[in-house]
Amino acid sequence: MSNSVILKTPIPGPKSREIAAKKMQYVPKAFATLAPFYIADGHGALVRDADGNQFIDFTGGWGCLIVGHTPKRVCNAISDQAAKYIHTDFTAVPYEPFVVLAERLAKLAPGHGPKQVAFFNSGAEAIENAVKIARKYTKRRAVVVFEGAFHGRTLLTMTMTHKASPYKAGFGPFASDIYRLPFPNLYRNNMSIADFDRAFAALVDPMEVAAIVVEPLQGEGGFVVPVEGFLEYLRKFTDQYGIVLVADEIQTGVGRTGKFFAVEHYGVEPDLITIAKSIAAGLPLSAVIGKKKIYDSIPESSIGGTYVGNPVACRAAIEVLNIIEEDNLLDRAVAIGGIVRARFVDMQQKYQIIGDVRGLGAMLGMELVKDHSTKEPAKEECSAIVQECLHHGLIIPSAGIYGNVLRMLVSLTITDEQLNEGLDILERAIQKVSS
């Protein structure tokens, strides 16, 4: 039996409370935090706070830590690079790690045709640029997105994001030419591909659409898996009308689902793929991996930015790719998925509150409902479970348009013992809150 969790003080402890008091004064309340304590250090899937309490971390920095907190090889690469040069701007004085990483990612992308890679800083920036690229290439304006989608918080990506509160309410006016369709899935809308086709026909002329942007498995929307055949259908549809298919793999990519890109589960080759989060172990880096013929239509100096593809972040990312390959983290994602799914399904049989268990590989979630037939979201219960977990040593994220999905964004370097200890805490919390 593992005992990674060490609780020495009430949560939050006195040092964390002291920092929190200053936070209240100097940091906007918009920066609400899940954990009520402040980190001192983190290693692998464990986090120690300022008061010496140790927690199991299922959030992985909102999905940025596939390789865990402070992996040695990444830390060494960061120090080595920082001692050489921290910044030049690639378009002023170019550097090799940018090119090496571009080659590695281009070769990992599904499909056989030539690919190129542009780097940016955040997920939202990658999506913004994917839309710009698609519009320039197709000379069209419309962009189709989905209900439940999350694509970021900038003007364009906030418009593309679905959930109104807290992401959009009061932040308008929004960007134009964005069209939204339901995301066909089994649990919430039971929509078929034929229904989707009819909805599309009524919404926008496909010949005016530059891009369809889709998460192969919705993340913030509540770990929603599309109905079988949907991604494949989108590929056929976009080919038929000359639309750029953009896979937003910012949460699903870099191995979490057991494949490097989640689209590989569907055998689909998108035109553009966006990644961010785990690619540089938490340093700000994102990428748009795209077909060369599309990038050939983008003029010199028309996309970019001062910090994009920072050399320290590129070196970290190269190490992340090395760790994924050498430590077989894709297989580990499948193994973690197996353990978690079995535990979630077992809990579903015991606790009425669990309406659905779903996901791919280690990207698994459970949707909590008050009633199995009405599927009324159990949002308050979900928050209560998260809080209960926090006070017993587990940091677990929630998600979903209705805020009623518990999800796993755990580091793939977690041990089986730590994973089961965390799942035990979760089960006790579910039992307590739902009894």
Ligand X SMILES: Cc1ncc(COP(=O)(O)O)c(C=O)c1O
Given the rule CB under 6 A, which residues bind ligand X?
122-124, 127, 150-152, 215, 219-220, 248, 250-251, 276
Output the DSSP codes for 62-125: HHT-TT-BS-HHHHHHHHHHHHH-S---TTTS--HHHHHHHHHHHHHSSSSS-EEEEEESSHHH
Q: Locate all alpha helices (DSSP H) within 207-354, ordered by sequence.
A: 230-241, 292-295, 311-326, 329-350
261 — phi, psi (to 5°)? -115, 140
* Contact assessment for residue 391 and residue 375, using Cβ atoms and an 8 Å cutoff: no
CB of 386 to ligand X, least distance (A): 17
Residue closest to ligand X (Cβ): 123
Task: Please state, in angstroms and rounded to a whole number, the distance separating the CA atoms of residues 104 and 312.
Answer: 16
Nearer to ligand X, 49 or 248 (CB): 248
How far, in Å, are 192, 200, 214, 409, 419 from residue 197 at the CA level? Answer: 9, 5, 15, 33, 42
Q: What is the dihedral of CA 275, 77, 54, 34, to 10 degrees?
A: -30
Nearer to ligand X, 359 or 393 (CB): 359
DSSP lists the bridge partners of residue 116 as: 290
How far, in Å, are 107, 162, 180, 198, 205 from residue 202 at the CA level? Answer: 39, 20, 11, 6, 8
Nearer to ligand X, 151 or 291 (CB): 151
Give, for 199, the enclosing helix (H) or strand (E).
helix 193-203
Task: Please state, in angstroms and rounded to a whole number, the distance separating the CA atoms of residues 378 and 56.
Answer: 24
* Contact assessment for residue 58 and residue 396, using Cβ atoms and an 8 Å cutoff: yes
CB of 261 to ligand X, least distance (A): 13
Provide the CA 186 distance to its chain's centre, in angstroms. Answer: 21
CB of 179 to ligand X, least distance (A): 18
CB of 430 to ligand X, least distance (A): 25
3 state DSSP class of 129 = helix
Nearer to ligand X, 130 or 353 (CB): 130
